[in-house]
Amino acid sequence: MSTNRKLLILAGDGIGPEVMRQVRRVVDWMGRRRGLHFDVKDGLVGGTSIEANGVPLTDATLAEAKAADAVLLGAVGGPRWDKIEFERRPEAGLLRLRKDLGLFANLRPATVLDALVDASPLKADIVRGLDIMIVRELTGGVYFGEPRGITTLDNGERQGLNTQVYTSSEIRRVARVGFELARKRNRKLCSVEKANVMESGLLWREEVTALHAAEFSDVELSHMYADNCAMQLIRNPRQFDVIVTDNLFGDMLSDEAAMLTGSLGMLPSASLGAADANGKRCALYEPVHGSAPDIAGRDIANPIASLFSFAMCLRYSFDLTAEADLIEKAVAQVLKGGLRTTDIMAPGMARCSTTVMGDSIVRALDKLHAAG
């Protein structure tokens, strides 16, 4: 039996396949140069799965994902499938993966690399050195709440309905992830909701407060309304260390935080489940950016978010900290050298394709590895 680490790659739609091609090169590099072998399987998700199988995720692929040590996902969705009913859309494949693998904690770091400080639309003074971690609840809230649907009322009006719902255990398990991460960082956790208008937000605040008092009083806890948080992220983002929030607010605030760093093309994410009795936890790693159909197939997408996602995979699923650091260092070096994909292009820099960015990162890895 193979003892190799098992990876399932679901490249998905749009720019997914082209950025995942660069990830694959780095996965292979780990085997070649570091003796770290991965059993890699490929599968379909999203629109490409709809085309091949009629559904955005097959049961067989879901089973593969459960059996893998980690799933690496590219992106899903595109205008071609926008008119399909919700349950059959590309996005439903991703949502099913999250739900059925129990990936309740979504880690979305937003860091500003020195070389990219000018790529941010905000002033360099505001974002320099930024390093925040958003923990987004990923399997509950309005994304999955019942009842939901579009119905026609007796008076002939149509009604769209979704339900925002959280239980105390759902809140506590994700808050715990936030507190534990804060402990490894700057010991500050900001919990974000709308306790001023939503009962689910009020419960969120009460549960986080109680958990803090019971187990995490060494961490500095603050609470913030989501609208204020959106504003504070622009006004003074460095006030934050770790933010924990629900599924929908986390979706929005993480896009906003991503943009602080200059480009959605830079930001990775990890989605983690609970550890089982053997310590194994399901995990999925994906860039925060979407499928970007407007630039798909042109070899201009930024592969760095996907490469950083693989670095997170090495860190969180395989405890390979040195190798994760290596990828991050290689990227930083390449950027320092002036190479830029279109999304992070700046005056005086050299514009490059997805493939050339991948080439350069692999070369930088070679050099770092040789330097020991």
Does residue 255 have an active-site annotation? yes
Tell me the site size for Mg ion, rule CB under 5 A: 1
Cα separation, 189 vs 192, whole angstroms? 10
Q: Would you give the DSSP letter of residue 167?
A: -
CB of 245 to ligand IPM, least distance (A): 13
> Which position among 28, 118, 131, 255 bears the catalytic label?
255
CB of 94 to ligand IPM, least distance (A): 6
Closer to Mg ion at the Cβ: 251 or 328? 251
Kindly write out the interface string for residues 231-270 of this chain, putting x where it contacts Mg ion by CB under 5 A and - elsewhere. --------------------x-------------------
Nearest Cα to 220, choosing from 201, 204, 238, 242? 242
> Which position among 13, 69, 143, 241 bears the catalytic label?
143
How many other CB atoms sit within 10 Å of the CB of residue 41?
16
Q: Contact, 242 vs 181, CB < 8 A?
A: yes
Binding-site partner at residue 91 among ligand IPM, Mg ion, none, CB < 5 to 8 Å by type: ligand IPM
The beta strands (E) that lie in the chain are given as: 5-12, 38-43, 70-75, 105-111, 131-137, 149-152, 158-161, 188-193, 220-225, 242-245, 268-272, 283-287, 339-340, 350-351
Binding-site partner at residue 268 among ligand IPM, Mg ion, none, CB < 5 to 8 Å by type: none
CB of 83 to ligand IPM, least distance (A): 17
Question: CA end-to-end span of the chain, whole Å?
Answer: 32
Quick one: the chain helix, strand, coil %, rounded to 5? Answer: 50, 20, 30
Residues lying near ligand IPM in the complex (CB under 6 A) are found at 77, 91, 94, 251, 290
Does residue 251 have an active-site annotation? yes
Does residue 131 have an active-site annotation? no
What are the φ/ψ torsions at residue 51 (nearest 5 degrees)?
-60, -40
Closer to ligand IPM at the Cβ: 19 or 94? 94
Binding-site partner at residue 359 among Mg ion, ligand IPM, none, CB < 5 to 8 Å by type: none
Give buried/exposed letters for 164-193 (b at 16+ CB in 10 A, else e): bebeeebbbbbbbbbbbbbeeeeebbbbbb
CB of 43 to ligand IPM, least distance (A): 17
Q: Contact, 65 vs 284, CB < 8 A?
A: yes
> Which position among 69, 241, 246, 251 bears the catalytic label?
251
What are the φ/ψ torsions at residue 40 (nearest 5 degrees)?
-105, 125
List the interface residues with Mg ion, window 326-365 (CB under 5 A).
none
Closer to ligand IPM at the Cβ: 16 or 303? 16
CB of 291 to ligand IPM, least distance (A): 8
* Residues at the interface with Mg ion (CB under 5 A): 251
Cite the active site residues.
Answer: 143, 194, 227, 251, 255
